[in-house]
Amino acid sequence: MAGFWVYCVQKNIDRSGGAGLPGAMGESMHLSKQIESMYDDAVRIRQGLHRIPEIGFQLRDTQAYVLRELKQCGPDRIETPAVCGVKAVFFAKDAETTIAFRADMDGIHNDEANDVPYCSQRPGNMHGCGHDGHMTILLLFARWIAKNRAHIHCNIVLLFQPGEEGWAGARRMIDDGALEKAVDEALAANPDIVEKLKSGNMKPTVPKGKIGVRWDYLMAQTSDFEITVHGKSAHASTPQMGIDAIVVAAELITMVQTVITRDVDPHQDALLTLGKIQGGTSHNVIAEEVTISGTLRVFSNDLYRTLSHKIAALMQGLETATGAQIDMGRKVRYPSVRNPRELVEQFYTVLDSMDDAVLVEPVMAAEDFAEYQQEIPGLFFFLGVQEPTGTAPLHSSHFNFDERVLLTGVETFKRILECESKCTKKK
């Protein structure tokens, strides 16, 4: 079976506040005239979406905005999987393959600090991870598809996915058929399953207008978890009558950290962060319950299993030593993003030169695009947005970018599709 491609674009942010203004892109990919002419629409769509960030699967206004723009492009089918996602299908006559492109939709919980006219209108929410840009790229790409359908010889699926920010939205899209039944009864030769998927993500550490990519591991798998320590409350003056959950939790935190420093080969990448602890009710009461929230990130499945077993063994030993009960629940787990070498090498052929690409190192950040790669071949890359004057990191309250970089994302999708259409066209 041929591959199913998905691209996701990650941007770098400009601290200088120059977002939305045309600027020099440096030595980046050449833009076709059709793509170059989309700049005004790129600004309008991106800033419109930027004003209305929504969270998780509560994306009513975002979904409505995407649907309005998409319907102007005349897709043959529109579906709404995963509560508030969007799947748009463009059929080609006698197509032999189906290729998909994906953008994520949801914002994050953060108060935007950018002083711009298109600042978030939703207090406490913002598009701080570039998903407004990802959606804009895919919507502009839909416009290009609508104008060039006569020259396209494969089916195209555009996926707008909710719930990327820790909500397992990709798996929900898959379960709701995002990769299936892309078939038109009037075109019986069309395949009935998506074969290749591509996506990109904005990246503040990649120079503006460059594409960051690598084969094999690109992003880590992640397991977000919550540990609950159940003790026994008592008066502070009689600690022997209770089991102090705070003391047990403190001991557990120290012990768990040694799993990384003493049980992992220094040549292997592993990260364990305990980012939240909560417990106790009063200064003079032995705490009965403490919760610890954290994340474990690795690339290797074998190392993940080893570390999980080590943590479980420490918890069990501490239960025996203290009399407390310790439970661990996993809230969400994403696999590693791992690009097939074949798809990366094919991707290199659509570039003007190798100077358009940057070989990036694997990162410990996670992406649920990996869920699609568990089902079909998929390619994930970074779209650089790093400005010479400095950048703000993803999820920062100052996250922002120059909309011209979005055109590089559209041009990249266009070239991938042109390459795929050429490869699959009947001789």
Instruction: Write out the catalytic residue numbers.
Output: 104, 165
- The strand pair at 337-339 and 77-79 is best described as unpaired
* DSSP-assigned beta bridge partners for residue 358: 212
Q: What is the 3-state secondary structure (H, E, C) of the chain?
A: CCCCEEEEEECCCCCCCCCCCCCCCCCCCCCCHHHHCCHHHHHHHHHHHHCCCCCCCCCHHHHHHHHHHHHCCCCCEEECCCCCCEEEEECCCCCCCEEEEEEECCCEECCCCCCCCCCCCCCCEECCCCHHHHHHHHHHHHHHHHHCHHHCCCEEEEEEECCCCCCCHHHHHHHCCCCECCCCCCCCCCCCECCEEEEEEEEEEEECCCEEECCEEEECEEEEEEEEEECECCECCCHHHCECHHHHHHHHHHHHHHHHHHHCCCCCCEEEEEEEEEECCCCCECCCEEEEEEEEEECCHHHHHHHHHHHHHHHHHHHHHHCCEEEEEEEEEECCEEECHHHHHHHHCCCCCHHHEEECCCECCCCCHHHHHCCCCEEEEEEEEECCCCCCCCCCCCCCCCCHHHHHHHHHHHHHHHHHHHHHCCC
Long-range contacts from 273-278, C-beta under 8 angstroms, 24+ separation: 277/249, 277/253
Question: Do residues 11 and 46 lie in contact, with contact meaning Cβ atoms separated by under 8 Å?
Answer: no
Question: Do residues 158 and 137 lie in contact, with contact meaning Cβ atoms separated by under 8 Å?
Answer: no
Question: Do residues 225 and 329 lie in contact, with contact meaning Cβ atoms separated by under 8 Å?
Answer: yes
